[in-house]
């Protein structure tokens, strides 16, 4: 498939060693506009294409790409999903069918690391319906488990899009499918996901209760139980119970040590970051009011996140900046926030905006401070976006 204008622009920008903000200044457009162009959320106009072509020395390549009619990103994703799945629903053997459907799901998961959930929700739903229907038709337990996994992730993306009602529906649907497949793993993790919804609603007791239920189900793997204990720890921290939070984190660490490094039974549940426990510990230290410790821990952990994990970088980057500001390190909070906003804008997460709103209110106490005045307009613009 021919590369889109946005893809070519990103390639040229990176080859030139320019950040999105640097290129935006050179071509006299906003960074937000540039982000939408690169991610296929907005078509380029001719003047913009010519300006970029000149600045990046593209020799007319970008001008030509801008003049080509291009499908929207959603059309590309839907077409790719159906091409990868629909062509196999004839007489393909079940193992091959499962592999191809799983491969398509993991492709959408990869996109979910770095782009708006709204762009992948429809392709996810269409894939989930296809896998579910095929599983029921063929009586395939493996496909039913995969359908449950896709439903769980669709719930997560719904929450990221700010739709908690559908997030809860998809999460519970995942649990039902998991039980129908005789697999307790996703049913357990679905409770962890529900606890995550409660956490963002600031409901500490509900977070703890759901996370504990996940651990009481039994028969789930060590990694899933570790993620349940991690969520319980976050609930205790939200409630201000330092001892209970540390105890739950210790249990999570012990369970994670016993977990297999790569369970290929189906796509990995939960965060794919190198150390999800330490990132959550940093998050919780902030809730416990230990902000300097939180900032120090998150500073270290964020350096370990791969560049492709933009959603995680934005999520924990926002919490890190908040921790720095609450610890009285306003300049450092603003400096780290500037680096986080580009990621936050690209992944377009309702949950990340929750922390950014708290950060905006906190920074308002220093509204006349130079670094705050510099970063605040970009922060306000991102928070105004829906």
Instruction: Kindly state whether residues 139 and 236 are assigned to the same domain.
Output: yes
Q: What is the CA radius of gyration of the chain?
A: 22
What is the spatial distance between Cα 361 and Cα 7, in angstroms, rounded to a whole number?
36
Instruction: Kindly state whether residues 49 and 88 are assigned to the same domain.
Output: no
pLDDT of residue 262: 53
C-alpha distances in angstroms, 378 versus 97, 106, 118, 324, 342? 46, 32, 22, 19, 9
Task: Give the dihedral sign, CA 21/27/31/37.
Answer: negative
What is the spatial distance between Cα 67 and Cα 46, in angstroms, rounded to a whole number?
8
Instruction: Kindly state whether residues 149 and 242 are assigned to the same domain.
Output: yes
| Last residue of one domain, picked from the residues 229, 246, 276 | 276
The CATH number of whichever domain residue 233 belongs to comes to 1.25.40.10
| Contacts with 176 (C-beta within 8 Å, 6 or more apart), sequence order | none
Instruction: Kindly state whether residues 189 and 294 are assigned to the same domain.
Output: no
Instruction: Kindly state whether residues 155 and 249 are assigned to the same domain.
Output: yes
Instruction: Kindly state whether residues 219 and 90 are assigned to the same domain.
Output: yes
Q: Give me the residues of the chain with pLDDT under 70, please.
A: 1-3, 69-94, 218, 261-267, 385-386
pLDDT of residue 339: 82
pLDDT in tens, 117-143: 998 999 999 999 999 988 888 888 888
Instruction: Kindly state whether residues 178 and 205 are assigned to the same domain.
Output: yes
| Last residue of one domain, picked from the residues 35, 67, 99 | 67
pLDDT of residue 80: 43
If we measure between CA atoms, which residue out of 145, 226, 162 comes closest to residue 197? 162
Domains in the chain: how many in total? 3
pLDDT of residue 167: 94
The CATH number of whichever domain residue 27 belongs to comes to 1.10.260.40
Instruction: Kindly state whether residues 63 and 135 are assigned to the same domain.
Output: no
What is the spatial distance between Cα 308 and Cα 288, in angstroms, rounded to a whole number?
30
pLDDT of residue 69: 62
| Last residue of one domain, picked from the residues 67, 100, 119 | 67
Range of the domain at 266: 73-276
Instruction: Kindly state whether residues 255 and 331 are assigned to the same domain.
Output: no
What is the spatial distance between Cα 313 and Cα 339, in angstroms, rounded to a whole number?
10
pLDDT of residue 267: 65
pLDDT of residue 34: 87
Q: Tell if the pTM clears 0.85, that is, is over it.
A: no
Instruction: Kindly state whether residues 302 and 241 are assigned to the same domain.
Output: no
Instruction: Kindly state whether residues 201 and 309 are assigned to the same domain.
Output: no
Pure H helices in 114-261: 117-138, 141-160, 164-180, 184-200, 204-216, 222-238, 242-258
Instruction: Kindly state whether residues 214 and 264 are assigned to the same domain.
Output: yes
| Contacts with 352 (C-beta within 8 Å, 6 or more apart), sequence order | 311, 314, 315, 318, 344
Q: Give CA angle at 182 (228, 198), nearest 5°.
A: 30
pLDDT of residue 208: 97
pLDDT of residue 327: 95
């Amino acid at each position: 498939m021919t590369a889109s204008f946005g893809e070519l622009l990103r390639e040229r920008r990176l080859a030139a060693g320019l950040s999105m903000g640097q290129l935006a200044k050179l071509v006299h457009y906003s960074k937000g506009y540039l982000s939408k162009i690169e991610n296929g959320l907005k078509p380029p106009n001719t003047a913009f294409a010519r300006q970029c072509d000149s600045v990046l020395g593209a020799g007319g390549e970008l001008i030509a790409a801008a003049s080509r009619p291009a499908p929207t990103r959603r059309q590309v994703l839907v077409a790719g999903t159906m091409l990868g799945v629909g062509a196999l629903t004839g007489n393909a053997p079940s193992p091959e069918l499962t592999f191809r459907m799983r491969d398509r799901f993991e492709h959408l998961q990869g996109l979910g690391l770095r782009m708006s959930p709204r762009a992948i929700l429809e392709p996810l739903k269409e894939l989930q319906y296809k896998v579910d229907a095929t599983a029921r038709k063929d009586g395939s337990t493996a496909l039913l488990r995969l359908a449950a996994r896709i439903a769980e992730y669709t719930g997560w993306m719904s929450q990221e899009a700010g739709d908690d009602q559908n997030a809860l529906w998809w999460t519970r649907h995942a649990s039902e499918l998991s039980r129908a497949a005789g697999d307790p793993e996703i049913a357990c993790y679905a409770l962890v996901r529900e606890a995550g919804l409660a956490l963002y609603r600031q409901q500490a007791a509900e977070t703890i209760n759901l996370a504990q239920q996940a651990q009481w189900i039994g028969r789930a793997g060590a990694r899933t139980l570790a993620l349940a204990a991690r969520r319980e720890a976050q609930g205790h921290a939200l409630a201000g119970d330092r001892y209970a939070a540390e105890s739950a984190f210790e249990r999570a660490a012990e369970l994670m040590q016993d977990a297999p490094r790569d369970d290929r039974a189906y796509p990995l549940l939960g965060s794919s970051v190198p150390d999800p426990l330490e990132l959550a510990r940093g998050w919780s230290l902030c809730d416990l009011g230990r902000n300097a410790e939180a900032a120090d821990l998150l500073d270290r952990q964020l350096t370990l996140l791969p560049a492709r994990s933009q959603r995680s970088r934005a999520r924990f980057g926002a919490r890190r900046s908040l921790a720095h500001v609450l610890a009285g390190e306003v300049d450092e909070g603003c400096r780290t926030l500037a680096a986080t906003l580009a990621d936050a804008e690209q992944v377009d997460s309702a949950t990340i905006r929750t922390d950014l709103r708290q950060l905006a209110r906190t920074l308002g106490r220093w509204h006349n401070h130079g670094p705050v005045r510099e970063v605040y307009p970009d922060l306000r613009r991102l928070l105004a976006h829906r």
